[in-house]
Chain A
Amino acid sequence: MGYLVERIGKKIIVGLDELGRMASLLQQIIVQGAKKPFNAKHFVQQMVKIGVDTLPIVSLMSIFVGMVLGYLAYLQFKIVGLEMYTGSLVAASLTMELGPVLTAIIVSGRIGSSTAAEIGTMKVTEQIDALRTMATDPIKYLAVPRFYAALIMLPILTVFADIIGMFGGYMIGVWKFGIRHQIYIQKSIDFLDPIDIINGLVKTIIFGGLMITISCYKGFTASGGAEGVGQATTSAVVLSIMTVLVSDYLLTMILY
């Protein structure tokens, strides 16, 4: 029993220590990001990687999620004769919750893993040391462009996810089940509150910042060669997704 308590205690201490270090990294990213010069070339590269390159998979996910939502909503609403509200449920669910969270999870898997692997490989092959020997701050050079690119691209990806998801719901509601086009659109708009859309986008900005900070931290602290980089990558993705889900709950409590 004593052994178990000791192990749990150690895990908690290690966890809190890591949390503190991640918070310190976030602070350094913000401080370094405010200093000149700003690396516009890397910033644009990262925006393309996080935004443009991730758009196809986000689109694919959104359209199917929208179609499934539309399908299930129609079946449930039909029981009580309210099938014209199918579009309302799809629109509200996507903008308030599913669009931001699922986009953040996809980006965590795709960008979180590549960020941790790239920085981790640089760490174990002394490329981070090489940056420092050439008077270049690794946080400013590697983490800052990724951080700001994520803050900008996550909301944009989410807007695409919301629109494409709603179109998926529309296809099912209108084309498959025959709800009238005007009614579907009108009911979708009726239930779309601009504040809800903005809150959803605010969430994604926070998700993006947290995900990139975690992934960069895992990369910067990777050690022990290929195995260490693999572990860093896995834990970056797992921790990013967990953080997105937990912070989603907390933000929902605060924002709605």
Chain B
Amino acid sequence: MINIIDVWKGFGSNKVLKGVTLKIEKGQTMVIIGRSGCGKSVLLKHIIGLMKPERGKIEVFDNDITRMNEEGMQTIRKRFGMLFQGAALFDSLNVAENVGFFLFEHTSMKKNEIMRIVSEKLKLVGLSGIEHLMPSDLSGGMKKRVGLARAIAASPEIILYDEPTTGLDPILAANINKLIKELQAKLSLTSIVVTHDMTSAYAIADRMAMIYDGKIIEVGTPEKIRNTNNPIVQQFITGSAEGPIISD
């Protein structure tokens, strides 16, 4: 479904991705782990075409999106949902308008039908009855859940999650993990999750991949990652200060 082949990306002299290759199958939850600033979010933005690689190609639904223009990308993006790290809710719109944004903009559905879907999605993330609130009235955790409701409102085939549990308390984080699992089970979604929260990663992953020094250094099931002999992966997943990864 998504095929990332030898992708390179740099910002000035800082080379972030140095030949990333990764395949994500339909209906799978792929969790990409790695240290802060290692290029996880950059990779996610390449998958949805917000960034173009310097080299390499990315195939989504059998289309090479690196060669697509913005109009072509818009057609592809209609099949995606994305949860941003800071939720990225639109400040000038209320919760209902945020969650129903795609439906208001890209469908001919009637307002009451959209509002029904909005209420349904908000209920799914445990936030019923807040349709009229503005993003500035919400806590960080609520914003993230509204962001998740917005990402799933248009029933996408692929959802990208950028640090879905960062900044949430452990109970809320567990709820989000549960929700991601439920969505995948109910809707057969393909999910790509970027995180450095290992509890979350083990809870939701079908497969995991670790980025280090601009490359994918290990891919496999959570079990395989847990039992790997790779000292870099071991140091990261155990959160050890001692090891080959040098702290900045």
Contacts and interface: CB of A to CB of B under 8 A. Distances in A.
A125 B45 contact: no
B74 A133 contact: no
Nearest to A131: B90
Given A132-B77, A133-B50, A135-B74, A126 B86 contact: yes
B212 interface: no
A133 B81 CA distance: 7
A129 B101 contact: no
B75 interface: yes
Contacts of B105: 134-136
B208 interface: no
Main secondary structure of the interface of A (DSSP, over half): helix
Contacts of A130: 82, 84, 88-90
B82 A135 contact: no
Contacts of B86: 125-126
Contacts of B77: 132-135
B50 A129 contact: yes
B51 to A, nearest CB: 10
Category for how many chain A residues contact B: 10 to 19
Contacts of B85: 126
A122 B45 contact: no
B215 to A, nearest CB: 25
B68 to A, nearest CB: 13
A24 interface: no
Interface in B31-46: 45
A137 interface: yes
Nearest to A139: B70
B78 interface: yes
Interface residues of B, number: 24
A129 B75 contact: no
B106 interface: yes
Contacts of B48: 133
A27 interface: no
B80 interface: yes
Contacts of B78: 135
Contact of B88 (A118, A127, A135, A137): A127
Nearest to A28: B70
Contacts of A131: 90
A88 interface: no
A132 B50 contact: yes
A158 B101 CA distance: 36
A128 to B, nearest CB: 9
B202 interface: no
Contacts of A103: none
Given A126-B88, A127-B88, A133 B82 contact: yes
A121 interface: yes
A125 B85 CA distance: 10
Interface string B14-54: 00000000000000000000000000000001001010000
A133 B80 contact: yes
A134 B84 contact: no
A244 to B, nearest CB: 27
Nearest to A134: B102
Given A133-B48, A133-B80, A127 B90 contact: yes
Contacts of B169: none
Contacts of B101: 134, 136
A245 to B, nearest CB: 31
B91 A127 contact: yes
B84 A122 contact: no
A125 B102 contact: no
Nearest to B81: A133
Contacts of A121: 91
A125 B89 CA distance: 9
A230 B50 CA distance: 25
B88 A129 contact: yes
A137 B50 contact: no
Given A135-B78, A135-B106, A129 B84 contact: yes
Interface of B: 45, 48, 50, 70, 74-75, 77-78, 80-82, 84-86, 88-92, 101-102, 105-106, 154
6 contacts: A118-B92, A130-B88, A131-B90, A134-B154, A135-B75, A137-B70
